[in-house]
Amino acid sequence: MHKFDDLWPTRRRRHLLKQGKYLQYVFNDHLMIALIFLAGALAYWYSQRLRLITTPVWWGPLVLLPILLLSLTTGRLATLLRPADQVFLLPAEHELRSYLNHTRIYSLLVPFIAILAIVGVLTPFALRATWINWWNWLLVLVALLRLKDVQLSIQLAERYDFEPSLKRQWEFIFWSFSTVGILVGVYGWGWLFALLTLVASIFAQVWLAHQLVSRHLLWQNAIAQESQRQSVINRFYNLFVDIPGISGKIKRRRWLDGVLKLIAGKNSMAYQYLYSRALIRRTDYGNIWLRFCIVSLLLIFVIRQPVILLLILLIFLFLTGYQLLPLYHHYDHHALTQIYPIDPHKQRHAFSKLLRQTLLVEWGLDSMALVISFQGQLWGWLIIVAALIVVVGFTQAYLPFRLQRKQKGN
Amino acid sequence: MLKVENLTGGYQHLNILKQVSFEVANGEVVGLIGLNGAGKSTTIKHILGLLQPKSGVITLNGQSLIDDPIHYRQQIAFVPETPILYPELTLKEHLELTIMAYQLDATIAWQKANALLKRFRLDQMLDWFPTHFSKGMQQKVMIVNAFMTEADLLIIDEPFTGLDPLAVHHLLELIADKKSENKSVLMTTHVLATAKAQADRFILLNHGEIRADGTVSELASEFGVSDENIDQIYLQMARENGDA
């Protein structure tokens, strides 16, 4: 029915479609606004620092080394293998070789972009703070891209049944070579780094390809690595949108049982009991709150412009409440909640109370950070008061209005 | 006591039940039996109020769901066929929620719950998430939740599948206890041989209609099979339907 050659294009298409779908949510999310502000603040800080450097400094190359090494760790081999493959594709292992080669080339895309971006950001620093000139720096970039390609070849070979000690040796040789090469490069001899890398990489890749011929794929291992890789990506997407299989992760969080008792109270009503547990134990709700708290605390210490900070914090508090609204309907389709003799009128009350408490805690954390950051200046107090007004306005005015509308919509 | 009168209903555009009428008296255990798709679960969903009847009336001690939903529901406890649990609640919290929802006296309810937990060997699992349990253990959690209430009517959907033989034995004992407390029990089942130990009466559904209603021996004589081979009635009914 299907040709084996179609396997890779089909999988790649499906994979890209899925990524595209989820990335939409990532880029549409409110968190992106925060990240843009954060990136802006960092860029400003970077440019201020750069101004202080006029001549090369001894520590310049030493700053570049770890960052460039880290740039090599971005992106892993994406084989897109799936659990059922070990049953259905097992007889076609030989044909899988060309498939895996395609995956290696495809896997270059993300790390290439990342390395280009990192080297791009470092360029003004490298040309100011070190003795390297621009064409040697360009050759460092070429060498890095070459090294990434070799690394993916090694990762591909690691999916085959070579001795584990041999695999460790490859890793060791790769990272030693990279470290020495980058050092040579950042001290000005970019051409030497590039030349050595070119020769060594061609040799390594030919040798690996030759070795692979007589080896067998470690199916379970390869599939496990791929699903682990994908689950990392999916967990990231899950911060923005529900991913089937990932979403609704539940953590016991025993250490928060005290907090649960505090919010739900001793003789709490059923809905309060349920909502508080969903909020604290389900990562999809709890993380929304946590995310906004952490980012706003960061911004309080990074952004020095009080008006902008005020606007961001007010938006954040509003968005926290807004993004937690779906929790109201979390139990609507649960059969037990429908069967149990629970008064539905108490539902709205319980939800408002919980949301009020949640936002007040966030406000409290922000306030403490503001007092420290502004050291008791007037602006700090002003922001604290304005934030409290937003919290009260949201829970006392906006929320009842929203819930009323939702009720009617049903 | 539960009274179902001329119940016609089903899912939105799909009528499953046609003019079903039956009663479950206080202190009576009734088995609702029938082949897959006969309408057993649909009947239960109507009694629970998860589906709205097209026509007909369901009352429990003279009250209907529309008159007073909270009071109506307080009188029913339900053990579903597939366990329905809250993924974010521990076993202990499920029991607490039941106490809250049914407004039970916590001390008495916990006494009952602890006895039940011990009987089903769940007493060491209170702090765990039941969604991680095996299917049989989840079923036991649902049983404990339902049997700790003071509900007048217990509805048990397919109680015996997935339970180990010891648990089946315990469940039959619990049903007998409820019976002696003058409570009503309505259960659906395929396992007639087990159910007949406690069921006073069986209602046999076929294509959404009541085909037969009576004790084991009454059903057996109606279908011309012996009491010991009561499961043969399904085969007889299938022959009537022209399926076998």
Q: Please tell me which of the candidates A248, A335, A342 has its beta carbon nearest to residue B84.
A: A335
Residues B184-203: tens digit of each pLDDT? 999 998 888 888 888 999 99
ipTM of the complex model: 0.77
Q: What are A100's two structure tokens?
A: 């895996």
Asked if A339 lies within 8 A of B70 by C-beta distance, the reply is: no
* DSSP symbols for B75-98: TEEEE-SS----TTS-HHHHHHHH
CB contact under 8 A, A341 and B84: no
pLDDT for B232 equals 86
Six token digits for residue A165 = 């000690």
Query: Structural domains in chain B?
Result: 2-75+153-241 (3.40.50.300), 84-150 (no CATH)
Chain A residues with CB under 8 Å of B48 CB are 338-339
- CB contacts of B84 in chain A (<8 Å) are 334-336
| B87 vs B13: which has the higher pLDDT | B87
Residue B71, min C-alpha distance to chain A (Å): 7
Q: Which residues contact A108 (CB under 8 A, 6 or more apart)?
A: A75, A148, A149, A152
Apex A138 CA angle, A137 and A141, nearest 5: 95
Instruction: Annotate A156-186 with DSSP letters as a single string.
Output: HHHTB---HHHHHHHHHHHHHHHHHHHHHHH
Residues 6+ apart with CB under 8 A from A238: A246, A247, A249, A283, A284
Nearest-by-CA chain B residue for A280:
B88
Q: Check residue A6 and report its DSSP letter.
A: G
Q: What is the DSSP string of B154-213?
A: EEEES-STT--HHHHHHHHHHHHHHHHTT-EEEEE-S-HHHHTTT-SEEEEEETTEEEEE
With CA atoms as reference, the chain B residue closest to A284 would be: B88
Distance from CA of B52 to the nearest CA of A (A): 13
C-alpha angle A218-A221-A227 in degrees, rounded to nearest 5: 135
| Chain A nearest CA to B69, separation (Å) | 7
pLDDT 10s per residue in chain A (410 long)?
Answer: 456 778 888 889 999 999 999 888 888 776 677 778 778 878 888 888 888 888 888 998 999 999 999 999 999 999 999 887 877 777 778 888 889 999 999 999 999 999 999 999 999 999 988 899 999 999 999 999 999 999 999 999 999 989 999 999 999 999 999 999 999 999 989 999 999 999 999 999 999 999 988 888 888 889 989 988 988 888 778 767 777 766 556 778 888 887 877 776 656 678 888 899 888 888 778 888 888 899 889 888 887 788 888 888 888 898 899 889 889 988 888 888 888 888 777 888 889 999 999 999 999 999 999 999 988 889 999 999 999 999 999 999 999 888 887 665 44
B-side interface with A, Cβ within 8 Å? 48-50, 69-74, 76, 78, 80, 84-90, 93, 96-98, 100-103, 127, 129, 131
Residue type for position B69? P
Give the burial string for A363-374 (b: 16+ CB within 10 Å, else e).
Answer: beebbebbeebb
| Chain-chain contact of A274 with B49 (C-beta, under 8 angstroms) | no
**Nearest CB neighbour to B93, from listed A277, A338, A342:** A277
What letters, b where the CB count within 10 A reaches 16 and e where it falls short, cover A346-358?
ebbebbbbbbbbb
CB contact under 8 A, A278 and B71: no
- Distance (Å) from the C-alpha of residue B242 to the closest C-alpha of chain A? 36
Task: DSSP for A56-120, please give it.
Answer: --TTHHHHHHHHHHHHHTS--------TTHHHHTGGGGGGHHHHHHHHHHHHTHHHHHHHHHHHH
C-beta atoms surrounding B162 within 10 Å:
18
Which single residue is written with the structure tokens 């999310």? A29
Q: Determine, for residues B48 and A340 on separate chains, whether the beta-carbon distance falls below 8 Å.
A: no
The answer for residues whose C-beta is within 8 angstroms of residue A327's C-beta and 6 or more apart is A275, A278, A279, A285, A351
Is B112 within 8 Å of B148 (Cβ atoms)? yes
Please answer yes or no on whether B70 and A273 come within 8 Å at the CB atom: no
Rounded to whole angstroms, how far apart are CA atoms B34 and B31? Answer: 10
Which residues on chain B are in Cβ contact (under 8 Å) with A277? 86, 88-89, 93
- Rounded to 10°, the helix A378-393/A345-374 angle is 170
What is the rounded distance in angstroms from the CA atom of residue B80 to the CA atom of residue B84? 7
Q: Mind giving me the DSSP string for A265-327? A: -TT--HHHHHHHHHHHHBHHHHHHHHHHHHHHHHHHHH---HHHHHHHHHHHHHHHHHHHGGG
Q: CB–CB of A282/A248 below 8 Å?
A: yes
Look at residue B121 in the predicted model and tell me its pLDDT.
Answer: 93
Residue A246 C-beta-side C-alpha neighbours within 13 Å = 16
C-alpha closest to that of A127 among A114, A113, A141, A115: A141
Residues A68, A69, A70, A73, CA torsion sign: positive
Which residues face B205 on adjacent strands?
A: B210
Predicted structure pTM score:
0.67
